């Protein structure tokens, strides 16, 4: 650690974190550039017993005032990180310093980004997971709210990325909840959603747009991408690992937060994104899920440069406790805790068998809910399992799942 160098004229040299040890932690000043030229923002805080303190002083000063402060801090024993002056701490010191330093700057960064959040179209926000999400204007394309939908705290980062206008790709097994997560964020914040599934007949014309003749006139019809961009809708590109290269090429242009689309077929018309436009993708067999590619036949490998333009989240199935909650909430008032806990345990055992490759079919939350619903109607788990599970899998898989069910449910007398 070095004392601030006060002889330098260039105040940019002095940006950074100044700290001194206190009995129970550290006291610090952070110097950053303020909005107006030649002004500096000074933030002060005290960390206690390993806990990062909040900013208790936040002021803007001019260059002369900053120099006076630097002098005062030096007298008081504050020092700036040595790396700024070309001297490096020992590897051990740096290793120990990393986490406290990171926690301090992360706390400061999240306090200042919260202040700079984009305003909602309607001025309202709604709390989803633990994040304030600006609301949209509503409309016919807003998905219906699923009141039984559960937002565990681990979804916070995803919701935060949506607010920050990041491109979010969700990967995971079928029925893990990828599409519904985005739809339920949109439903609660009243944003319209368009979905485009790449595992089918979606052509670049459907996606980007095409010319057509109507009543003797030649008309351009926007595809889903320019429609969502112009109207500020959320676009979910489902099963992106099945998309044709020409669709991926069109997408690449809009992966930057303010990326614009050039409609080459329409005389190079430029489509700029509406501030509410968001882009999402889902995939089963990309990146960390590539090990399961044999289960998702026909999925393409995505290149790293393309993946690097997304925040890619691996979405696992809900835990048994969460899934039991979802069963209770979805099938209320008929589902009981005892039944829900057993059904969630059966799903978890089937997934474990799938992970060991004893079972060749995944066991989705969708499948579990459907089986449970039918079971409540028939009063018979086996009869309900026939159309909800057994008929969809190989005879070997059906036999194994039947064994798991019997292990958890004793037959009625």
Ligand X SMILES: Nc1ncnc2c1ncn2[C@@H]1O[C@H](COP(=O)(O)OP(=O)(O)OP(=O)(O)O)[C@@H](O)[C@H]1O
Instruction: By CB under 6 A, name the binding residues for ligand X.
Output: 148-150, 172, 174-180, 282, 284, 318, 326, 364-366, 369
Tell me, residue by residue from 130 to 169, as one string, x for binding to Mg ion by CB under 5 A and - for no binding: ----------------------------------------
- Rounded to the nearest whole angstrom, what is the least distance from the CB of residue 68 to ligand X in the complex? 55
- Please, what is the minimum distance in Å from the beta carbon of residue 115 to ligand X? 30
Interhelix angle 365-378/381-388, nearest 10 degrees: 140
The residue to which tokens 């809900």 are assigned: 318
| CB 172, min distance to Mg ion, A | 9
How, if at all, do strands 311-314 and 168-171 pair? parallel
Which is closer to Mg ion, CB of 162 or CB of 375? 162
Of 19 and 179, nearer to Mg ion (C-beta) is: 179
| Dist CA 157 CA 170 (whole Å) | 12
Q: Note the Cα 33 to chain centre separation in Å.
A: 30
Partner whose footprint covers residue 149, from Mg ion, ligand X, none (CB < 5 to 8 Å by kind): ligand X
Q: Could you give the 3-state DSSP secondary structure of residue 120?
A: coil
Closer to ligand X by Cβ: residue 175 or 192:
175
3-state secondary structure of 194: strand
Instruction: Calculate the alpha carbon distances from 259 to 54, 72, 246, 271, 306 in Å.
Output: 36, 46, 17, 9, 14
* Binding of residue 361 to Mg ion (CB under 5 A): no
**Residue written as tokens 């964020």?**
185
179 versus 184: smaller Cβ distance to Mg ion: 179
Nearer to Mg ion, 66 or 233 (CB): 233
User: CA 190 to CA 143: how far, in whole Å?
Assistant: 8
> What distance in Å separates the CA atoms of residue 300 and residue 225, rounded to the nearest whole number?
21
* Cβ at position 140, least distance to ligand X in Å: 20
Nearer to ligand X, 120 or 339 (CB): 339
Residue 141, Ramachandran bin (φ over 0: left; ψ between -120 and 50: alpha; else beta): alpha
**From Mg ion, ligand X, none, which one binds at residue 284 (CB under 5 to 8 Å depending on kind)?**
ligand X
Give the nearest distance from C-beta 195 to Mg ion in angstroms.
Answer: 9
End-to-end alpha carbon distance in the chain: 77
Structure tokens at 240: 């992106």
Check: CB of residue 256 under 8 Å from CB of residue 241: no
DSSP-based three-state secondary structure for 332? coil
Q: Is the distance from CB of 384 to CB of 374 less than 8 angstroms?
A: yes
Smallest gap, in angstroms, from Cβ of residue 284 to Mg ion?
9
CA atoms within 13 Å, Cβ hemisphere of 176: 19
**Interface region with Mg ion, contact rule CB under 5 A, candidates 103-111, 123-131, 177-185, 259-267:** 177-185
Secondary structure (3-state) at 285:
coil
The least distance separating Mg ion from the CB of residue 180, rounded to whole angstroms, comes to 7
Name the residue nearer to ligand X (CB basis): 1 or 314.
Answer: 314
What is the smallest separation between the CB atom of 299 and ligand X, expressed in angstroms? 11
Nearest-CB residue to ligand X? Answer: 177
Q: Which is nearer to ligand X, 29 or 313 (CB)?
A: 313
Name which of ligand X, Mg ion, none residue 174 binds, using a CB cut-off of 5 to 8 Å depending on partner kind.
ligand X
Least distance to ligand X from the beta carbon of 315, Å? 7
| Residue 175 interacting partner from Mg ion, ligand X, none (CB closer than 5 to 8 Å by kind) | ligand X
CB of 349 to ligand X, least distance (A): 18
Q: Of 178-186, 203-211, 285-293, 378-386, which part binds Mg ion (CB under 5 A)?
A: 178-186
Using rule CB under 5 A, residue 179 touches Mg ion: yes
Q: What are phi and psi of 34, to 5 degrees?
A: -90, 180
Number of residues this chain uses to bind Mg ion (CB under 5 A): 1
Task: Give the range of 80-88, 100-108, 152-160, 173-181 binding Mg ion by CB under 5 A.
Answer: 173-181
Q: Is 281 exposed, middle or buried (0-12, 13-18, 19+ CB in 10 A)?
A: buried
Q: What does 65 interact with, of Mg ion, ligand X, none (CB < 5 to 8 A by kind)?
A: none
- Return the structure tokens found at 34: 């303020």
Whether 14 and 69 have beta carbons less than 8 Å apart is answered as no
Rounded Cα gap, residues 188 and 180, in angstroms:
12
User: Interface with Mg ion by CB under 5 A: which residues?
Assistant: 179
């Amino acid at each position: 650690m070095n004392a601030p160098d006060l002889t330098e004229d260039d105040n940019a040299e002095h940006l950074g974190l100044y700290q001194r040890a206190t009995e129970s932690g550290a006291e610090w000043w952070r110097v950053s550039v303020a909005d107006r030229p030649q002004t500096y923002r000074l933030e002060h805080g005290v960390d206690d017993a390993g806990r990062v303190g909040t900013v208790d002083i936040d002021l803007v000063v001019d260059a002369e005032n900053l120099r006076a402060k630097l002098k005062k801090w030096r007298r008081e024993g504050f020092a700036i990180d040595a790396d700024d002056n070309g001297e490096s701490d020992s590897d051990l010191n740096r290793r120990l310093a990393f986490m406290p330093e990171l926690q301090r700057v992360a706390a400061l960064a999240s306090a200042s980004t919260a202040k700079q959040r984009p305003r909602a179209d309607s001025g309202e926000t709604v709390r989803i997971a633990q994040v304030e999400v600006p609301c949209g204007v509503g409309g016919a394309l807003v998905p219906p709210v699923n009141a039984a939908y559960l937002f565990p705290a681990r979804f916070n980062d995803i919701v935060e990325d949506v607010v920050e206008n990041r491109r979010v790709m969700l990967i995971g097994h079928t029925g893990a909840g990828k599409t519904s997560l985005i739809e339920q964020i949109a439903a609660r914040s009243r944003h319209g959603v368009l979905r485009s599934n790449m595992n089918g007949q979606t052509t670049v014309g459907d996606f980007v747009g095409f010319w057509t003749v109507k009543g003797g006139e030649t008309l351009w019809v926007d595809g889903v991408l320019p429609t969502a961009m112009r109207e500020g809708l959320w676009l979910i590109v489902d099963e992106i690992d099945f998309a044709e290269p020409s669709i991926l090429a069109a997408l690449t242009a809009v992966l930057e937060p303010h990326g614009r689309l050039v409609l080459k077929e329409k005389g190079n018309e430029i489509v700029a994104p509406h501030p509410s436009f968001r882009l999402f993708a889902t995939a089963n067999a990309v990146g960390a899920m590539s090990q399961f590619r044999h289960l998702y036949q026909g999925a393409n490998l995505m290149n790293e440069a393309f993946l690097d333009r997304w925040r890619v989240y691996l979405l696992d199935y809900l835990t048994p406790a969460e899934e039991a909650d979802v069963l209770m909430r979805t099938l209320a008032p008929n589902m009981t805790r005892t039944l829900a806990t057993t059904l969630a345990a059966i799903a978890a055992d089937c997934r474990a068998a799938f992970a060991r490759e004893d079972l060749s079919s995944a066991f989705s939350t969708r499948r579990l809910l459907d089986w449970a619903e039918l079971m409540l109607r028939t009063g018979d788990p086996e009869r309900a399992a026939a159309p909800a599970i057994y008929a969809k899998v190989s005879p070997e898989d059906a036999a194994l799942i039947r064994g798991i069910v019997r292990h958890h449910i004793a037959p009625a007398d």
